[in-house]
Amino acid sequence: MVALLIQYVRLVCPYDPIIDWCKRSGQEQARMFKLGLSECDGVKKRSDHQDAKAIDLYLGKGSKLIWDKALYRKLHKFWSLLGGKEMIPGDIGHFGG
């Protein structure tokens, strides 16, 4: 699914896909939870990243990140057609499966 998403980005976007998080350890998830960066503590509530079922994908142009919400919604609509989960409000770069 990720490969198809990246191909789709290259077809419909004037920006480059940037893959950030894919697999995350329990320790890293707990750290992110403690910092308030995730609602998942890594134990009671696991992140899809811990099971390699999610990626964080961003759009960039040179060294600049692009935050075009309409474009991210379009990418999430395609992701949903592939069987992925819907976009998480406030985390537009997260693509879970």
What is the sign, positive or negative, of the torsion defined by CA atoms of 17, 20, 23, 29? negative
Residue 71 has pLDDT above 90, yes or no: yes
Give the Cβ contact number of residue 80 at 10 Å.
13
Mean pLDDT of the 54-71 span: 95
Sequence spans of domains, the chain: 1-20+55-86, 21-54
First to last CA, the chain: 9
Residue 66, both tokens: 């692009």
pLDDT digits (tens, 9 = 90+) for 28-45: 999 999 999 999 999 999
